[in-house]
């Protein structure tokens, strides 16, 4: 298995205005996706994560955009195809305080397939993270969900900016059009393989 180096998961970046704006958008998108996935799983976090939205105006803008609903639909399709495997993996991971971060970085890195990152793989990571949050809540470990969301945000902000900006941004016409097509067949929408099949194979061989 090609393990992902947890130490390099969050590379240092210059905090330009562009990077800060992108990170803020990531914060909004990841929060909306996690709330959506928790709802899909029928669970609610006892420690409110809705208050973690960094910018209410931007949140309203992005949640009204077609892209957010399209990404949710894409994630819903992934749940149909890969949900059982993702949930099974959640139950086998070492989520102890000592290993939680390294474990998440390992799965996230292999899911994204860095440097071959695509929108499909990004949504795959958000889908898995939402299911992992649901798994933690069901185990009575709500206190870890906020930490998990923070890692997801940093991971995507620090590794996925070129891919997202290359498509024109979260609410660009390209992302909206292609992600909407994913409501039917996300692998044929020009967004790339979601990468989860390979992750599942690698972890089966651990």
CA dist., res. 160 & res. 166, Å (int):
10
165 pLDDT band (50/70/90 cuts)?
A: confident
Task: Please state, for a pLDDT cut of 70, what percent of the chain lies above it.
Answer: 63
The predicted structure's pLDDT at residue 34: 92
pLDDT, residue 205, reads 40
Three-state SS at 98: coil
3 state SS of 61 = helix
Q: What pLDDT score does 64 carry? A: 60
Tokens of 167: 């498509």
User: How far is C-alpha 30 from the chain's CA centre?
Assistant: 6
| CB contact set of 154 (below 8 Å; sequence gap of 6+) | 10
Over the chain, what is the mean pLDDT? 75
pLDDT tens digits, residue range 41-58? 999 876 667 665 555 666
Q: Is 54 exposed, middle or buried (0-12, 13-18, 19+ CB in 10 A)?
A: middle
């Amino acid at each position: 298995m090609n393990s992902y180096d947890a130490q390099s998961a969050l590379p240092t970046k210059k905090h330009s205005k562009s990077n800060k704006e992108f990170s803020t958008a990531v914060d909004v998108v990841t929060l909306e996706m996690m709330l959506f996935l928790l709802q899909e799983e029928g669970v609610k976090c006892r420690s409110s994560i809705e208050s973690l939205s960094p910018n209410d105006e931007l949140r309203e803008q992005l949640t009204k955009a077609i892209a957010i609903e399209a990404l949710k639909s894409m994630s819903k399709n992934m749940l149909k195809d890969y949900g059982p495997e993702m949930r099974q993996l959640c139950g086998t991971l070492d989520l102890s305080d000592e290993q939680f971060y390294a474990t998440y970085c390992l799965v996230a890195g292999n899911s994204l397939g860095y440097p071959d990152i695509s929108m499909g793989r990004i949504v795959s990571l958000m889908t898995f993270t939402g299911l992992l949050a649901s798994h933690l809540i069901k185990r009575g470990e709500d206190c870890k969900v906020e930490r998990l969301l923070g890692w997801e945000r940093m991971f995507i902000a620090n590794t996925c900016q070129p891919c997202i900006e290359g498509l024109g941004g979260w609410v660009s016409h390209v992302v909206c059009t292609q992600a909407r097509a994913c409501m039917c067949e996300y692998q044929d929408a020009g967004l790339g393989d979601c990468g989860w099949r390979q992750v599942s194979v690698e972890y089966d061989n651990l």
